[in-house]
Chain A
Amino acid sequence: MSVNSILLTTLGLIILIIFLWYTVRLYNYLIGSKNAINYSLSSLDALLKKRHDLIPNLVKTVKRYMHHEASLLRQITELRTMAATEDISIHDRMVLDSEMARLTKNIVLYAENYPTLYASDNFLQLQASLNEVEEQISASRRALSASITDYNNAIQMFPTNIMAYLMGYKEFEWYSIPEDERQSPDVERLF
């Protein structure tokens, strides 16, 4: 075998190894991107359930004081019951959650009119838990948004779009925040 053919064969092998390595990286990247979306979705689902689980305690704490807000408390309890259904989709859970979040904010705002309630340990602890889960849900949404952007970019951009096509991957549907939650709470509308 001549020196030239040995060199060419070696060069060919190196190019092949680099190509295979790069292909594996692209494949793993797409798998990782999709898994990131699934992870963010399941985190968001778990955190929404966590917020819903706080609702009964919130209602129980404020019920003794906020007699005039019975309809508000009833609304939020009903929403919570609907959200607690096992086979509800993540999208429907998010829609219910945005309404519950709005009502929860109103309850907390309204509780300022009841100083005894507002200063009680139970209520302060609940508020802290609600703040915590609110921030966690916000983080989960940010992570989901970033994961979906990453994944959709990979689906559309060269050369990952080639690998995505071969793997049968399609664009992921974007979950946007319902319009209601973007507005400031409207206490007047409720009472």
Chain B
Amino acid sequence: MPNIEDFRAFYNEELLPLLDELEHMRRSILIKNIKTFFFFLGVGITAWIILSIWIKLTHRYYENYILVYYAALVIPMIAYIYKRKKPSSFFWRYNHEIIGGIVRFIEPSLYYKPESYIPFSSYRHSSLFDDNVDAYTGSDYIYGRVGHTNIWFSQIHAEKEEESYSTDDDGNTTIDTYWVTIFKGIFFVADFNKDFDCTVILRPRRRNIIELRRDDEIILDYPEFMKYFSVYTDDIVEARYVLSTSLMKRIVELRKNAKRDIYISFVPPNIYVAIPCNPLFYATYCRSIVDYKKMELYFYYLSFTIGIVEELGLNRRIWGKKALSSTRNR
């Protein structure tokens, strides 16, 4: 995997000319839209002035023409929204050429689809989170193969709607609905390098005053690992086959590098890794996009995620399960 020095060279040779070209495009869109905005604003103000003069000269009442005043401002603004230059082609190029370019630089065999995301069926299959979901969206879908391992990941945001009841002094009950985030962050899937037939779920360990173990919870023989994770499984022997000592060590390193709680599950035939975070890939055409620090952040984020394959040793195929010869159907 390329390092930061390689990325710096890539940025200067490949990304910077593209960013400059897109920056030029962004500025021309922005200037055009500003001009269009002020034109329609001018039209609205002019209409307002003309209306005011007419009302004064004809000795009419301003109050009878409130709606006309509103229309004089609102209609030009609506016209501006329709007439302004849409920046969709700018965003399309930014996503596919800049972010897609960084993805292909890190791993040429990967593909990037900005509008797609991990399907809900994969989220549910992982058994990591509540699947009683009312809204499920995402973006920045990346998929392909790293060495012998097929991977696919994206940003996802799963939410559920909840209700709260409140009663006022008159005894009237009001129902307020609000959204609760179940999970928001990177959702990573890879085909695991062993054949197994059980479910193993790793959740961040919560320190409670009273430690109550669930029936399906097991304690493994690696104390540092158990400091970070609670382990749940339906097969105590196969869980230990999946979670070898070397894999547990690697998972601990991954957790330390992520610097936050992570969720992992093993559900045949895949491994699922969920890392809570906010969406990172965004551009606004109101600000300059020529920003090395931002590109570097994209590079670190993508390197870290794609690097999960090496970090967990998923390319090591010395057991019965060999590398797949074709990409799986997702």
Q: Which of B220, B238, B319 contacts A132 (CB 8 A)?
A: B319
Query: Could you tell me if B320 and A142 are in contact, using CB atoms closer than 8 angstroms?
Result: no
Residue A70 at the chain B interface, CB threshold 8 Å: no
Q: How far is the CB of A129 from chain B (nearest CB, A)?
A: 6
Residue A128 at the chain B interface, CB threshold 8 Å: yes
Residue B241 at the chain A interface, CB threshold 8 Å: yes
Query: Could you tell me if A139 and B237 are in contact, using CB atoms closer than 8 angstroms?
Result: yes
The number of residues on chain A lying at the interface, defined by a beta carbon within 8 Å of a beta carbon of chain B, is 20
Query: Could you tell me if B241 and A139 are in contact, using CB atoms closer than 8 angstroms?
Result: yes
Residue A117 at the chain B interface, CB threshold 8 Å: no
Cβ contacts under 8 Å, B236 to chain A: 36, 39-40, 143, 146-147
Query: Could you tell me if A139 and B238 are in contact, using CB atoms closer than 8 angstroms?
Result: yes
Cβ contacts under 8 Å, A39 to chain B: 236-237
Q: How far is the CB of A112 from chain B (nearest CB, A)?
A: 15
Q: A40-B236, A43-B237 are in contact. Are A142 and B221 (CB under 8 A)?
A: yes
Q: A40-B237, A139-B238 are in contact. Are A132 and B194 (CB under 8 A)?
A: yes
Residue B318 at the chain A interface, CB threshold 8 Å: yes
Chain B 28-72 interface 0/1 with A at a Cβ cutoff of 8 Å (1 = within): 000000000000000000000000000000000000000000000
Q: How far is the CB of A188 from chain B (nearest CB, A)?
A: 27
The residue on B at minimum CB distance from A28 is B215
Chain A facing B: main interface SS: helix
Bound complex: CA A64 to CA B66 (Å): 101
- Tell me the residues in window 89-134 of chain B with beta carbons closer than 8 Å to chain A beta carbons: none
Bound complex: CA A39 to CA B237 (Å): 8
Query: Could you tell me if A139 and B240 are in contact, using CB atoms closer than 8 angstroms?
Result: yes
Q: What are 30 contact pairs spanning A and B, CB under 8 A?
A: A36-B236, A39-B237, A40-B236, A40-B237, A128-B318, A128-B320, A128-B322, A132-B194, A132-B195, A132-B319, A132-B320, A135-B194, A135-B244, A136-B237, A138-B240, A139-B237, A139-B239, A139-B244, A140-B240, A142-B221, A142-B240, A143-B236, A143-B239, A143-B240, A145-B221, A146-B218, A146-B219, A146-B220, A146-B236, A147-B236
Cβ contacts under 8 Å, B195 to chain A: 132
Cβ contacts under 8 Å, A40 to chain B: 236-237
Q: How far is the CB of A105 from chain B (nearest CB, A)?
A: 14
Q: A39-B236, A129-B320 are in contact. Are A135 and B221 (CB under 8 A)?
A: no
The residue on B at minimum CB distance from A40 is B237
Q: How far is the CB of A53 from chain B (nearest CB, A)?
A: 14
Q: How far is the CB of B110 from chain A (nearest CB, A)?
A: 27
Residue A71 at the chain B interface, CB threshold 8 Å: no
Residue A75 at the chain B interface, CB threshold 8 Å: no
Residue A120 at the chain B interface, CB threshold 8 Å: no
Cβ contacts under 8 Å, A135 to chain B: 194, 241, 244, 319
Chain A 99-141 interface 0/1 with B at a Cβ cutoff of 8 Å (1 = within): 0000000000000000000000000000111011001101110
Cβ contacts under 8 Å, B194 to chain A: 132, 135
